[in-house]
Structure 1
Amino acid sequence: MAESGKKTRGKKVIELKRIEDDKNRVITFSKRKSGIYKKASDLATLTGAKVGVVMFSPSGKPYSFGDPSIEDVTNLFQGVSQPLDGSTQHAIEAYRKMKISKLLQDHNDVLHQLDDEKEHGKKLEEMTKGKTSQGWWDSSTDDLNVQQLRQLLAAFEKLSKTTHSKINQRNLGGGGASSSSFPAVNTPQTRI
């Protein structure tokens, strides 16, 4: 049997050291630059962070990337804040309040849903406890709807037919000769 080895070497870790050949250094910079921009963009998108990247090529040309913009990030870094006019500030505050209100409403809805589910679970637990201490046939039918009552009746009829069939099989010799035979039983037909 021939061994099926990997066809590729997989992802290899490249040792970080300065690339001496100028041409290779420029090529590597141009290839990796877009990867760094993509990582910075992903970081900003996933976390909402304000991200700024400034790079200088081997020839000294500057490249920058910023989210929301490189100017906003550098102003934030330098501690320069851009003043907001009154209407913008009110709009931001109104949006913030609306968002908080919506989140609180969602939170309350989830809490109510959780309470309802806990209550439903307690009812099921009580019903289960009642059924384990008594047979399912002894449980109350007051809480059942018409469909459930029909299903219960069908279950009773099936039980009755199965029981009658077993008794008749024993009487006909399926259970062997016994001195205490059961009388033959007719299965009643019930309709709703």
Structure 2
Amino acid sequence: MGRRKIEMKKVMDSSSRQVTFSKRRTGLFKKAHEIATLCGAEVAIVVFSPGGKPFSFGNPNVDSVADRFLNQEEEDNTDDRGVRRSGKVVERLNQQLADVVKNLEAEKKRGEVIAKALVKAETKWGLTIQERSHGELVKVKQSLEELHESVKARESDMEASSSLLLLANKPAKETKKTVAKSG
């Protein structure tokens, strides 16, 4: 039968997904072991199964690789008791977390404002669009079209009035110039 290309998408059947996870996890850990052995690299992998169970592989071990990653930007930075302090990477990650939490709170507030506006709109107009009948929607459409025409007419009136005011002021200035020239 041989190897065949598998489309990269989520396996929908839960038992097949578990089997696929186990096989792929084993292959992933094997590759990580090979790169650690062949290249002398420090490797750490943490994988959570579809059921939520954690699996890890590390060379020399997961803790040392994770600690080195989290403190990679600082030199030997220990306090007087010999305890390693948080490095720049941890500080940067904490700042990113704080920014994300801040953005999340802002979006929650924005969502609350939108929800209040929707409630206000629903109480103002009565029913939502989905709850209205076709006839009611036609009437609402007609009233909106009438409002639109009314606004357009008012706009035209205002433009005409503005033009008349401009024309009315212009001849008065020209008349004064004509009187000044003839006198």
Verify same fold: TM over 0.5: no
After TM superposition, the score normalised by the length of structure 2 is 0.38
Q: TM-score, normalised by structure 1?
A: 0.37
Higher helix share: 2
- Of the two, which has the highest radius of gyration? 1
